[in-house]
């Protein structure tokens, strides 16, 4: 393989990695935007239910609640379908206590 072939191959690999990074970045941006939208829907849903329960609801409050719930369910279904299955996080165990002095032996700190 000649020098120019190696350079061309490396350039192709670098371009491919850059494209993959750009795609991953775009996916993260879209995910953040969807989450922000869902947070807004939850806020609106809470406000609509609060208004309804405190007697300040309007004639279309129930329709708004139903619409918001439907949109949230669509968001959850989309999110669940796009997430890859992940292993549940393992609980972290605290370090074992040795029961002795925190000072290493022979440093003079524990001598009387």
Q: Contact, 38 vs 75, CB < 8 A?
A: yes
**pLDDT given at position 13:** 92
pTM for the model: 0.56
Domain boundaries, the chain: 3-82
Q: What is the mean pLDDT of each run of 10 residues along the chain (112 residues)?
A: 86 92 93 93 95 91 94 90 65 56 54 50
Q: Is the dihedral of CA 102, 104, 108, 112 positive or negative?
A: positive
Whole-number pLDDT of residue 2: 85
Structure tokens at 14: 């670098």
At 79, is the secondary structure helix, strand, or coil?
A: helix
């Amino acid at each position: 393989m000649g020098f120019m072939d190696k350079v061309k191959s490396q350039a192709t690999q670098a371009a491919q990695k850059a494209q993959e990074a750009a795609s991953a970045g775009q996916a993260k941006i879209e995910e953040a935007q969807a989450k922000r939208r869902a947070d807004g829907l939850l806020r609106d849903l809470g406000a609509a239910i609060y208004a309804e329960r405190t007697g300040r609801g309007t004639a279309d409050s129930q329709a708004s609640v139903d619409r918001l719930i439907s949109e949230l369910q669509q968001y959850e279904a989309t999110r669940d379908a796009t997430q890859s299955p992940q292993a549940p996080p393992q609980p972290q165990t605290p370090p074992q206590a040795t029961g002795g002095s925190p000072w290493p032996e022979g440093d003079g700190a524990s001598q009387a």
